[in-house]
Structure 1
Amino acid sequence: MRKTVTGAALLVAAALLTGCGSDSGNGDGKAKASPSADGAKPSAAQSPSASAGAAGGVKGGATHEVTLEVEGQGRTQVMYHADSTGFEEQTLPWKKTETIELTGAEQKVGYLVNVLPGSVKAADGSLKQAPCTITVDGKKVADNEGGKNPKGCSFLVK
């Protein structure tokens, strides 16, 4: 019985990790909004900015323009977090620019933004992590050394 439950749990986890969600097909990293059955707008509890505000305090502090980029050719999975969060297959090169607004607490301790690109084919035919960069207010603040650093790109915005 334990083997059956463990096997089922692994299958469910694998299905979730392989992206069972729908793809908007527009390649810009933005999912199309799907109206609810009753036509109501999403509640504040469903809104990423509302939950971030509830967890981090009252918004109204400093704002920063954050640009996440992944270079390369073809398509790969890209996981990212700035003002919004996503894990989607993207056509490369890929770029996402968002404005984040920090609370007073976030200005003191920082707000983590990151991008973790998937693999792309290297010149020798092997797979390597795609190159990524993070730019905050026009200044490059993080890169993964052309794909050499497997941790991707992350930066603490204050």
Structure 2
Amino acid sequence: MRAVLQRATNASVTVDGQIIGQIKAGMLIFICAMPDDTPATAAALATKIAKLRLFKDDAGKMNLSLAQTGGSALIVSQFTLAADTSRGTRPGFSRAAKPEHAKALYEDFITCMKSQGIPVQTGKFGAEMSVALTNDGPGTLWIDTAQP
């Protein structure tokens, strides 16, 4: 799975003119399932993200996890994280998991984040979404479970 994490002071997702997910302080997580991913991959990634020390402590060091801060997660499916840009100028997306498989893993990831005690809001899988974010930066990371 691939994920882009953005530390946020607030973030929201709008579909058809309606806000369907919104958080205050926490993390915006764009998530993409790849063909070989499994529910175990989703669980491991959710656990890692929930415990990742991306938030500042009282000394200003990135030393606190999302779980420790009491922040929320806004989780948005994003198949474009699987883009192949190696040929030409039009990205290809054949490296992303098929929609049925990806949706199941997206839902597994959400369930696992909730089981870590993280309040979760979501986008809508497969929908055209508008995402708004106030980035609390620098605080953007990319994670690929296939990378060491």
TM-score range, shorter chain: under 0.3
After TM superposition, the score normalised by the length of structure 2 is 0.23
TM-score, normalised by the number of residues in structure 1: 0.22
More helix by share: 2
